[in-house]
Amino acid sequence: MKSKILVLSLMSLACFAAAADQKSDKKPAPKAPAAKAVAITIPSNAVEVAPYTYRSIDPQGKAWIYRQTPFGISRTEDKPASVDDTKKIQESRDQMIQSTTAVDQGDSIHFVRNSPFGRTEWLKKKTDLNEVEQAVWSREQSTHTNPESASKD
C-alpha cells in the first residue's frame, strides 16, 4: 500500500514539473501600449449655468454640458428633453404636490410628505419656497379660504 502511494505521488510530481517546464518556455506576448486618455477641460467660452455646471458650444455646433465633480470634469451632450420625459417629470411633480401638506408657522411653513420610505418633514421660510412648495402652499391657502368648496368635495 505504501509503495502504491509513493509511486502515485512521484508520478504527480513528475507531471507538475513537466507542466512547469512547458510554461517557462513560453514567452509572454508583449502588451500594446495603452492609449492615453485625453483630460477633459472646461472650454474658455463656456458659460456657467449653475454652480459647478457650464454650457459650451463646440466648433461643429454641438452643445455640451460640463460638470465639475469630485472625480474630475464630466461632459455630456446637451439634448432637449423628449415629450415622454417631460410628461414623466410633470406627473412626478403633480404627485409630489398632492402628497404634501403645509401648515403656516408665522414667517415659515411646515411641510409634511408621506412616502414609501416614511414621513418627511421640513420647515422653510416663505421667501425661500421652490416651485413644488409654492404650489402646495397655494393649494393649502385656497382650501382654507374656501371652506365651503372643501366640504362639497
Kindly report, residue by residue over 45-57, the tens digit of the pLDDT. 999 998 999 999 9
Instruction: Please give the model's pTM, rounded to 2 decimal places.
Output: 0.49
- Residue by residue, what is the 3-state secondary structure of the chain? CHHHHHHHHHHHHHHHHHHHHHHHHCCCCCCCCCCCCCCCCCCCCCEEEECCEEEEECCCCCEEEEEEECCEEEEEECCCCCHHHHHHHHHHHHHHHHCEEEEEECCEEEEEEEECCEEEEEEEEHHHCCHHHHHHHHHHHHHHHCHHHHHHC
For the chain, domain boundaries: 47-77, 83-146
What backbone phi and psi angles, to 5 degrees, belong to 68?
A: -85, 120
- pLDDT at residue 150, as a whole number: 47
Kindly report, residue by residue over 133-152, the tens digit of the pLDDT. 999 999 998 887 765 554 55
pLDDT at 127 over 80: yes
- pLDDT at residue 4, as a whole number: 76
Kindly report, residue by residue over 45-95, the tens digit of the pLDDT. 999 998 999 999 999 989 999 999 999 999 999 888 888 989 999 999 999
pLDDT at 6 over 60: yes
